[in-house]
Amino acid sequence: MVRAGLGSTNWRCRFANDFDPKKSAAYRRNWRDAVFKTGDVRALTTDDLPGTVDLTWASFPCQDLSLAGGGAGLQGDRSGTFWPFWNLMKGLISTAPSVDVATATGRALTTGKLRGSPPSDIEKWSLSQFIEVAAEMGVLKDKTVISARLCNDFRNLIHPGRGQRLGESCNRGTAYSAVGALEHVIVDLSQDDRHSPSIARLASRLNLSPHFVGSMKNQTTAPCVSFFKILY
């Protein structure tokens, strides 16, 4: 019923569960996908779940919360099925990133590090937007953030008018600073388990040192790839 209520656009169901065979059969007839798992919620582990998602929902029997249930409450055999579900949620929380992109973006806007909201399409973000949101998420270390901001400032010098106004120009120093920032970013991202497979390829394409290429964990995400595209 909840899946029907949420509609069929702009979201995707990743997992569903019930222990009753008849309910399971009805669900599969209605939705015809493989996300449903028949079984007792007490037997589920976080390995059965798809990982971090935007929404989780569950219901549990209400008998123990009613007068007919003798007042057992959430300690009752039926209504107490809330606790296995909650334990699963705590398991997911413990493995989820400490802060999501939306929250980090809000913080960066509040503190003034971002002048305006980034586009909804992350591929259209500017380098400075990536830097500030990544900094708020803790993806980049403080020293890396300083290097990345400097890299962003130097990158803007490719516009003659800006260089003239600031009395600065691109040179070997600014180029080496940019490469140094890249290497710091690569190291930070390679040490973060939220990221996955193209750091090494991108590092090789950028002709960075074998030490950094060899130390990659083959972990990055779409935002990371976009980050490198802009830097490159």
For residue range 51-110, list pLDDT tens digits in order.
777 788 898 888 898 877 778 888 888 899 999 999 998 887 766 555 577 888 888 999
* Look-up of token digits 């971002």: 114
For residue range 180-229, list pLDDT tens digits in order.
888 888 788 776 555 443 444 444 444 444 443 333 333 333 344 444 44
Mean pLDDT on 172-181: 78
**Mean pLDDT score of the chain, rounded to an integer?**
76
Distance CA 81, CA 231 (A): 50
Distance CA 156, CA 130 (A): 15
Q: In whole angstroms, how far apart are CA 102 and each of 99, 118, 120, 192?
A: 8, 10, 10, 19
Structure confidence at residue 182 (pLDDT): 81
SS3 label, residue 16: strand
Higher-pLDDT residue of 112 and 175 is 112
Name the region of 56 (left: φ>0; alpha: ψ -120 to 50; beta: rest). beta
* Look-up of token digits 């939220």: 194
pTM for the full predicted model: 0.44
